[in-house]
Amino acid sequence: MSLRIIKAGIQDTVQDFGRYGYQQAGINPSGAMDRYALQVANALVGNDLHEAVLELHFPSSVILFTRPLLIAITGADFSPSINGEPVPLNQCIVVNKNDALQFHRPVSGARACLAVQGGFKLSPWLESQSTNLKAAAGGYEGRALRKGDELICRTEREYSKLLNGKNFRVLPWTADHQSGDNSKEILILPGNEWDRLPAASRERFLGTPFLITKLADRMGFHLGNEPMDILPGEELVSSAVTFGTVQLLPDGKLIILMADHQTTGGYPRVAHVITAHHSKLAQKRTGEALHFRITDLMTAEQLLQKQQQHIKQLQNACLFKLQSYA
């Protein structure tokens, strides 16, 4: 036993980089909403970048550690504390047995990642530890974490030398989490039905902000736009859709598909949010505005490549730092 949920959060699940290879059976990939935060958390604690973490929403679970562990919290800032003392995001924290981690206020962002060194001892389902809530499979018993759940971490390390008798200890380096992209805009690529939007709809798409409604969860974000016109065309037979696909619903509203999206759909695919901006998008909350700007495939690929290079550098730097604490 390594950590116990002593109070349940609203929807906290085990997620990794996603379950790929089963969409042809209608099994959606799941996985962390913010895969950049997932990778930063894993880099910090020296894990494989795709290792499973706890994805936390606010109000979040209260977590009691039942053995010393090395952890890192990334993504949303929910004002974390250990035993009442504030602790930072994007840093390694050595926690002791009986330390309690809780989250106080949703300061910024929508979902946090909690990584532990060594990852969790959970049997994978179809090669992934991600929780698939629809299939009630993967992760911890295929469901969100509840009070009393106990997770075992795979680490063999003792950490007692690192703690030096203290309760917990924050290690003195910080992951640069910005990746040089502070723009407010969400970049999109035109979808196959983009050209079926009349000029006025396209202008509105790119010229006005879109508010995220209350219907915003791991499956998708419904946007609160005035109904948007689309030129008449033949009804689409179902085909594959993906994370970031922006669909125009029959009532003229837009939805952006997120990590728990259905594998296939039949609504017009007007646009796709570029993969490099999924992380930024995943951290948006109800009531926040999205500003779309159109880009091209070359830019989208280059931004994603840059993001991955940044994570690789971070991973190397963290491994180097962690060595001196071995």
Binding region for other proteins (CB under 8 A): 20-28, 125-126, 132, 134-137, 142, 189, 191-192, 234, 236-242, 244-245, 262-265, 269, 272-275, 297-298, 300-301, 304-305, 308
Q: Nearest distance from residue 278's CB to other proteins, in Å?
A: 10
Complex with other proteins: residue 47 or 131, whichever CB lies closer:
131
Helix (H, G, I), strand (E, B) or coil at 19: coil
Residue owning tokens 């020296």: 46
CB of 64 to other proteins, least distance (A): 29
Residues pairing with 188 in the sheet: 273, 294
Complex with other proteins: residue 2 or 245, whichever CB lies closer:
245
Q: Tell me the closest approach of the beta carbon of residue 212 to other proteins, in angstroms.
A: 20
Residue nearer to other proteins on the CB measure, 35 or 57: 35
Taking the complex as a whole, the smallest distance from the CB of residue 192 to other proteins amounts, in Å, to 5
* Identity of the residue, 92 or 186, whose beta carbon is nearer to other proteins in the bound complex: 186
Residue among 307, 62, 296 at smallest CA distance from 194: 296
The residue among 73, 60, 76, 78 whose CA lies nearest residue 109 is: 76
Strand 289-294, strand 185-190: pairing = parallel
56-81 burial: b if 16+ Cβ within 10 Å, else e: bbbbbbbbbbbbbbbbbbbbbbbbbe
Which residue, 1 or 231, is less far from other proteins as judged by CB? 231
| Nearest in space to 302 (alpha carbons), one of 281, 270, 275, 283 | 275
Shortest Cβ distance from residue 165 to other proteins (Å)?
A: 44
